[in-house]
Amino acid sequence: MYEKLYEQINYSFKNENILNLVFTHKSSGKINNERLEFLGDSILGAVISEELYNRFTSSSEGELTRIRASLVKGTTLIKKGKELELLGFAKLSKAAKNISDLEHSSILGTIFEALIGGIYLDSSWDETKAVILSLYRNDLESIDIKDSFKDPKSELQEYLQSVGEEPLEYICEKSHYGSQDSFECYVFFNGNKFKDSGRSKKKAQMKVANKILKSIKWKIFVA
């Protein structure tokens, strides 16, 4: 059942009960993968931090923090989950199976972190570290320390394209407070209205996009 996954991650579970728990979403009951997700999140962050520290010896704390954030953010975890086709193994409630593709994508990130936690419980720190670095090899080798990374609006657009969603329409209105102009922008996304304001239309749109990205990264959708 898990042969292809074992080949992809270059690791085979000794205790498949742990792996079964990795794929058990909280919509299925009290015994689920939330604790494994918590563990995996911490381990992933520590392994990536150590690797960046050793790779980029001249980089500042701020630069390392920025790069790490790009590697462990929700959209990156979702991408990793899609590459491993983890959703096919997910144990969801009947109601959760009927949620949108976009919401299913958010579940991928949580399963990926739970997988990391499961590997650690099933093996050791060194073996888990080896799996993580293997899965992140291309990401780590393609890092340009001078790269400013994508702004929130561009990142959101790229993500929506990757899951087959249409680009969002930002509706902005100009306001005047005292001697300064201000813009308020809003977007309807996944049934919710996201809005924010800024000194320019661009800044307001960036703030709105960042709010939406955070909702994708951290919200776990259940029925």
**Cross-strand pairs, 123:** none
Whether 196 is catalytic: no
Q: Exposed, middle or buried, 42 (CB in 10 Å: 0-12/13-18/19+)?
A: middle
Which residue is catalytic, options 113, 144, 158, 165? 113
- In eight-state DSSP terms, residue 176 is E
Which residue is catalytic, options 3, 7, 41, 166? 41
SS3 123: coil
Element (H, E) at 117: helix 101-122
Distance CA 223, CA 205 (A): 30
* Radius of gyration, alpha carbons of the chain: 19
Whether 139 is catalytic: no
Helix axis angle, 101-122 to 34-55, nearest 10°: 80
Would you name the residues annotated as active-site residues? Answer: 41, 113
